């Protein structure tokens, strides 16, 4: 791929439920832009209610890399980077402004820091072996063969742990995926944040709204069409509903839908906190609280 070097890219990041999509759409409209999603859940088709997709909100703004794969398919960081770079360069070629928007830190970093990602395809045989291991055994094995990756890997994310093991067992250290290369673009990073109490309140309202919109029925349809073991159902919201539908009270210690809703809220609060911890480590992020602050930064950057 021919990359257009020294071109401008605007990144909008931050925890869930802080209003990134709404802000990005307004800014893209104002600055002749298109959006590239950096959300590892919105890439999946059929996961609409539980991932907060609001297609009406995009209002004639091109929003790339959503609804691109089925829930039962795996999707690697290398695949994301390849697709995102192509979209960014296509937008630049059209003399428009690319906005990379989302809360998935690895997706964002793969572009911002131009990660040198191991090009190892999914291996069903290796994955089958991994699936037979307990969570503690997986972590113990990773610690033995690639201890460096434990410094950044989210060990609560089963999908990421499995992928790390898959890469390592295929002959390449997963930690090498974090090696940075020369930047491909001139980048402005904008971070949207709210007080934690406000973020949690927004999360709670969003979860209630998702239940009202039919998160339970959507989960049932995905299970029926694909499988309850689909990679996409590792997503917060779906995995709790899945346990609820399985009546998995012994391991999850809940029996009612209301208890399930509470658990989704708690897990999402914890997720937002982890996201903020990730983003705070990046000193290049310009943290804002409103649209006028973002517009001022962008005008200066584009000029």
- Tens digits of per-residue pLDDT, 280-297? 999 999 999 999 999 999
Evaluate whether residue 76 is within a structural domain.
no
Do the domain assignments include residue 11? no
Tell me if 78 is assigned to some domain.
no
Same domain for 169 and 207, yes or no, is no
Is 215 within a domain?
yes
User: Considering its fold, how many domains does the chain have in total?
Assistant: 2
- Do residues 267 and 202 both lie within one domain? yes
Q: Angle at CA 100, nearest 5°, toward 34 and 208?
A: 95
pTM to 2 decimal places = 0.87
Q: Are residues 238 and 266 in the same domain?
A: yes
Q: What is the pLDDT of residues 238-280, one digit of tens each?
A: 999 999 998 754 444 556 899 999 999 999 999 999 999 999 9
Q: What are phi and psi of 170, to 5 degrees?
A: -95, 5
Higher pLDDT, residue 117 or 207: 207
pLDDT tens digit sequence for 86-106: 999 999 999 999 999 999 999
Same domain, 151 and 203: no
Do 174 and 200 lie in one domain? The reply is no
Domain shared by 154 and 210, yes or no? no
Q: What are phi and psi of 74, to 5 degrees?
A: -90, 150
Boundaries of domain holding 126: 117-179
| Residue 271: closest CA among 113, 80, 51 | 51
Residues 168, 226 within the same domain: no
Residue 155: both structure tokens together = 């060990």
Which CATH number goes with the domain that contains 174? 1.10.20
pLDDT at 225: 96
Q: Evaluate whether residue 75 is within a structural domain.
A: no
**Domain assignment of residue 60, yes or no:** no
Q: Say which range, 46-60, 134-148, 153-167, 222-236, has the weakest mean pLDDT.
A: 46-60
The answer to whether the beta carbons of residues 5 and 85 sit under 8 Å apart is: no
């Amino acid at each position: 791929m021919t990359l257009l070097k020294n071109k401008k890219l605007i990144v909008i990041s931050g925890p869930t439920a802080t209003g990134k999509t709404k802000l990005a759409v307004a800014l893209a409209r104002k600055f002749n832009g298109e959006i590239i999603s950096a959300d590892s859940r919105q890439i999946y088709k059929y996961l609409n209610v539980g991932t907060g997709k609001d297609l009406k909100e995009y209002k004639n703004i091109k929003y790339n890399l959503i609804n691109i794969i089925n829930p039962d398919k795996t999707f690697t960081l290398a695949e994301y980077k390849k697709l995102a770079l192509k979209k960014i360069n296509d937008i630049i070629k059209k003399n428009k402004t690319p906005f990379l928007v989302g809360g998935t830190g690895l997706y964002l970093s793969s572009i911002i820091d131009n990660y040198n990602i191991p090009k190892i395809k999914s291996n069903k045989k290796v994955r089958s072996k991994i699936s037979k291991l307990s969570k503690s055994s997986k972590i113990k094995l990773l610690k033995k063969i690639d201890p460096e990756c434990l410094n950044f890997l989210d060990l609560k994310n089963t999908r990421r742990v499995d992928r790390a093991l898959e890469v390592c067992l295929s002959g390449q250290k997963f930690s090498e995926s974090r090696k940075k290369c020369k930047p491909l673009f001139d980048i402005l990073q904008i971070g949207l944040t709210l007080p934690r109490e406000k973020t949690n309140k927004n999360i709670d309202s969003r979860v209630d709204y998702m239940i009202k919109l039919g998160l339970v029925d959507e989960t049932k349809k995905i299970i029926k069409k694909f499988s309850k073991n689909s990679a996409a159902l590792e997503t917060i919201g779906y995995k709790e509903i899945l346990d609820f539908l399985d009546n998995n009270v012994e391991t999850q210690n809940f029996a009612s839908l209301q208890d399930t809703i509470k658990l989704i809220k708690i897990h999402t609060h914890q997720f937002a906190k982890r996201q903020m911890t990730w983003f705070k480590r990046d000193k290049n992020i310009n943290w804002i609280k409103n649209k006028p602050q973002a517009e001022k930064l962008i005008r200066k950057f584009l000029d």
